[in-house]
Structure 1
Amino acid sequence: MLGEAAVKDSRIPKPYSEKHMDETFSHPQYRVDLRRYSEKEYNKFVRLNTVADWSLLSWKDVGKPFEVTNYSRERTEWEKENNQAMDPHTSWTYFNKSFHEWFIKDVPKEKNLGKEQFMRSLASFKPVQVKQAIGNLVQLQLWNYVHRIQDGIWDPRGKRALFEGLHLDRPRILFLGAAEGYEAMQLGAMYPGAEIVMVDYDEFCKTTRFGEFPEHYPFLGENSSTGQWKVTYKDDLNIEYVVEDIRNLDFGKEFDIVLSVGLLEHFPDKYKPEVADWHRRFLKEGGYAILTTPRNQLRSRLYYHVMADVMNHTYRELMTVEQMGLYMYEAGFDILRHGYIKVHNGLICRPR
């Protein structure tokens, strides 16, 4: 366990190094996890390659994704006020700001305040206040478990297991719908010398979600000189952030990796071939498309139900990895690796 002095002294910009290998520590907002996994532990974090032959799989076999239909209060009120469906750009703006507000919460402090609010609501004898206070506490407890305890959103050990073994030297990485850019930074740590281009059409993602990503968060990667483990930080990486609609990008086929995280599931079926093509359009020959989506499992459905006001501003599906892979296979990609980790599915694929 990391000593408290190293964590609490905010004057230390890079408090972690290789000497903290195999340690984990819970910050008020998130968890740091520099633990590796042994061969025995591997299957705790990733299940790989459950489909032997994608050409034999059909939608009759796998079914369709689960659509999340309980939208946030903000979206519902906006649509009522404007008498129309919320457009995608507005919905993403609302989502990014709401999600970021939760990422920066001091969760232990907020939980104490929530308990105090609950006790005051009981004293008021007003059922509406009691119900709201209980709802706030439930959300905080769930967020605390998913993000700070389980580390399911960032999930560094699971993501490293999905991303490993690509044998790339100083790759160019394009991250579509980058938000705070976490996964591209993890890839950049694993493949030293990477050049990262992040793209999102919400300026807030560049200035705030990425701009305020904690400088002292450590990514476990590789030392290119020794081949040993190395701790890398955000400012060690070569990153350009572009605010633009993906459809307007003028890059050529110049990237070794095109990455998206939580993108495919935000589009109904008629748009999924176009989304798949975004991953093809910018890839060098022999390059890798890497995608993740939220898993369709009971706890994920519960999460999106309880956290609706935080998460559900946009169209969203929950998929199995077989559904996700079949979308990409039918769009002309060969699936090189597929699997699922704590709360996400993952694919590594290549255009046929």
Structure 2
Amino acid sequence: MDLDAHLGNDYPYSEEDFEKTLLTPSYRVELRNATNEQLDRFISAGMVNDWSLLSWKEVGRPYRVENMAEKRVQWENEHGRNMPVHKAWEMFNRSFHEWFVKDVPSEKKQARQDMFNHLAKFDMKEVRIALKSVIMLNLWNYAHRVKDGIWDPRGKRALFQGLHLKKPRILFLGAAEGYEAMQLYSMYPDGEIVMVDYDEYCKTDRFAQFPDTYPFLGYNSATGQSRVWYKDQMNITYIVDDIRNLPFGHEFDIVLSVGLLEHFSDEVKPEVMEWHRKFLKPGGYAILTTPRNQLQSKVYYKVMEDVMNHTYRELMDIRQMGLYVYENGFDILKHGYIKVHNGIIAQPR
């Protein structure tokens, strides 16, 4: 596809672009598999037939990411105490967002040039710094742009498919830029999204700067055919508050969290699962994802530690994640994994 030919339009992609993909400087546009008939991007693990028979002795505990970002380590050394959770989340959100808005090809080129310039001057300290930047940019380019592993639209659509909902109210806990709720809305349109995050930066920057021209593949409720949706066509409310302060009752068809459960120790996980239960209508769905415990993820969180590792974090396999969900009162309807995440759809027992 010709990128320049599309960027001048408010809504640059349409049904005419189905089955195409292209790289922008910051992310991948993914319009393949428009009818969602090929679900091979979500692997329905089928590993557990009866969750009541599974034990922690059998599956072991999640892998804990111990290496912290340099800025967190510096802050704790200066203050002589552990960084408060809210402060850690603020640092993470700003650090992570900076990478989403990068012109990656341009920055890769500049980082390589800087490395060669420092090498020519035999400034080995600066060479090491530049080399680290080159490695990080190449990994981010591969994980986010080339493989589209962070947003993973085809995998997320496959996970979300089959809920048989019309005009659902969707509550996104720890919403950040809100990607997955917007993908859900495009698949089950004409409802409402309520996004919640207690860091105002997520609303004012991460969500506000999410590209208006990014196309979400979904459905036209009037025709039943596939169509492209954009952020400003969706009914979205963004609330900045602590999840524990929300005034809602059992009024949402979907309660969604993405990369939330793994940030809490086992003592707090029951409370996190209760956040999903307390806002659901009878028959509603809790949808959760967590990063997978796999070699690629461990390498990613090591190389990208200064970007990612400001908070407590675990990597789980799907059985470990499922046990947390099941033991806290949910029946698991669907479990499996996509590129870098586990995915579960569940309902309260």
- TM-score tier after normalising by the smaller chain length: over 0.9
- The alpha-carbon deviation at position 39 of structure 1 amounts to 8.8
2:60 pairs with 59, 63, 82, which one? Answer: 63
* Aligned residue number for residue 4 of structure 1: 3
Distance 1:41 1:239 in 2: 29
- The alpha-carbon deviation at position 184 of structure 1 amounts to 0.2
Cα distance per residue 1:118-152 (max 9 Å; x no partner): 10121121222111111100000000000000000
Cα distance per residue 1:232-289 (max 9 Å; x no partner): 0001100000000001111010000000000000001000000000000100011000
1:244 lines up with 2:244 in the alignment: no
- Do the aligned residues in 1 keep the contact of 2:41 with 2:158 (CA within 8 Å)? no
Distance 1:180 1:118 in 2: 33
- The alpha-carbon deviation at position 51 of structure 1 amounts to 1.2
Cα distance per residue 1:32-71 (max 9 Å; x no partner): 1011178995334433432111111111111110000100
**What is the 5 A alignment of 1:1-352?**
2-9=1-8, 12-36=9-33, 42-352=39-349
- The alpha-carbon deviation at position 225 of structure 1 amounts to 1.2
Cα distance per residue 1:139-172 (max 9 Å; x no partner): 0000000000000000000000000000001000
Distance 1:230 1:46 in 2: 25
* RMSD of aligned residue pairs (Cα, Å): 1.3
Distance 2:140 2:294 in 1: 17
Distance 1:46 1:7 in 2: 33
What secondary structure does 2:193 align onto? strand
Segments of 5+ residues of structure 1 without an aligned counterpart are none
Distance 2:74 2:168 in 1: 45
Distance 2:16 2:67 in 1: 46
- Do the aligned residues in 1 keep the contact of 2:69 with 2:309 (CA within 8 Å)? yes
Distance 1:330 1:4 in 2: 48
- Do the aligned residues in 2 keep the contact of 1:46 with 1:342 (CA within 8 Å)? no
What secondary structure does 1:94 align onto? helix
- Do the aligned residues in 1 keep the contact of 2:166 with 2:188 (CA within 8 Å)? yes
Distance 1:304 1:87 in 2: 21
Distance 2:99 2:315 in 1: 21
What secondary structure does 2:342 align onto? strand
Q: Is 34-43 or 185-194 further displaced after alignment? A: 34-43
- Do the aligned residues in 2 keep the contact of 1:215 with 1:233 (CA within 8 Å)? yes
- Do the aligned residues in 1 keep the contact of 2:35 with 2:226 (CA within 8 Å)? no
- The alpha-carbon deviation at position 80 of structure 1 amounts to 0.6
Aligned partner of 2:253: which letter? D
Distance 1:40 1:20 in 2: 17
What secondary structure does 2:141 align onto? helix
Aligned partner of 1:329: which letter? Y
- Do the aligned residues in 1 keep the contact of 2:3 with 2:22 (CA within 8 Å)? no
Aligned partner of 1:62: which letter? V
Distance 1:169 1:255 in 2: 12
- The alpha-carbon deviation at position 8 of structure 1 amounts to 3.8
- TM-score norm. by structure 1 comes to 0.97
Distance 2:41 2:254 in 1: 26
Task: Specify whether residues 348 and 44 from structure 1 end up closer, same or farther in structure 2 by C-alpha distance, changes over 3 A only.
Answer: closer
Q: How many aligned residue pairs are there?
A: 349
- TM-score norm. by structure 2 comes to 0.98
What secondary structure does 1:269 align onto? coil
| Overall identity of the aligned pairs, in % | 62
- Do the aligned residues in 1 keep the contact of 2:289 with 2:341 (CA within 8 Å)? yes
Distance 2:289 2:232 in 1: 25
Distance 2:138 2:318 in 1: 28
Distance 2:59 2:27 in 1: 35
- Do the aligned residues in 1 keep the contact of 2:27 with 2:148 (CA within 8 Å)? yes
